[in-house]
Amino acid sequence: MKNNSPVTHIWIRAEGGSNRSVIYYDREGNQLTRYLDPKAKNPPRGSKSWRHQNPGNISSLGPFAHEHGSIGSASYPDPDDPEKMLHFAIFPSYEIGRKAMASLLKTQKYIDSTLHDFPRRYTGIMSAKIPDTKAVREYRKNLQIISKLDLTRTIRSLNDQEYEQFLNAVQRCEGWYPGDEKLIEIKKVVGVKCSHGKAIEFLVEDINGMKEWVTKEAAILLAEEMRLLAVVVHSRYGAYLRAWPHWPTLKSLLTR
């Protein structure tokens, strides 16, 4: 289910789908779905940070994620408290998600933390009275192994190269594991043939510019499968197609 299309999509909206999948949409109606593989354990596949293009697993709560380019969010029950929901930002690309993480860890909340204390603060333990959890101890151990940095250092003290090492380690600790994805590219109606005032064939164009004539029935099926940018209307006289909102009317596409 890998995407081999030469076209680069710019995702403008995203949302959580079924079974913890994440669905991305572009302006043309094309869709990319990234999936969690619940059976793959060692290593896992389709991790949360990868599905969201959010290598730091940044929360969608508050203005930070939106101000740094997020295009949606998804929510899941907290594994430690099923009554509580955790909310994560979805970014349009890995690069934008990585930049957001780099900016977040230099905010006042984190920049003066030592690398030793960082896992506590990043996992939400703010009080010194609360002892390290197993998750914090594991995070700290992996952070040191992966980054090879002195954990007594503060984030502020890191030079550019060391900061990249630190970001790479955080990304690993947050669990970046690629999985399966499926791209559905939407075709467009660019021509219409009519007979006795009724559309009988549609000229459809794919994202690579390839065109073909299809019957009305085939066009309706494509639209119902969300593979053609058109609206299916059902009436007592049968089904027919209508132009997608804010797109040229089908009447304007009539061919002679």
113-151 confidence digits (pLDDT tens): 999 999 999 998 888 889 999 999 999 999 999 999 999
Q: Please report, as a single letter, which amino acid is at residue 192.
A: V
Residue 5: what pLDDT?
A: 45
**209 and 101, same structural domain?**
no
**144 and 209, same structural domain?**
no
Of the candidates 181, 215, 230, which is a domain's last residue?
181
Residue 7: what pLDDT?
A: 60
Residue 5 within any structural domain of the chain: no
**124 and 241, same structural domain?**
no
For the chain, the domain total comes to: 2
Q: How far is CA 8 from CA 27, 33, 51, 94, 207, in A?
A: 12, 15, 18, 14, 10
Phi, psi of 55 (to 5 degrees): -60, -20
| 147: DSSP letter | H
Are 51 and 16 spatial neighbours (Cβ–Cβ below 8 Å)?
Answer: no
Please list the pLDDT of the chain residue by residue as tens digits (256 residues): 444 445 689 999 999 999 999 999 998 889 999 999 999 988 899 999 999 999 999 999 999 999 999 999 999 998 878 889 999 999 999 999 999 999 999 999 999 999 999 999 999 888 888 999 999 999 999 999 999 999 999 999 999 999 999 999 999 999 999 999 999 889 999 999 999 888 999 999 988 889 999 999 999 999 998 899 999 999 998 999 999 888 889 989 998 6
Residue 3: what pLDDT?
A: 43
Give the residue numbers spanning the domain of 240.
187-253
Residue 53 within any structural domain of the chain: yes
Residue 71 within any structural domain of the chain: yes
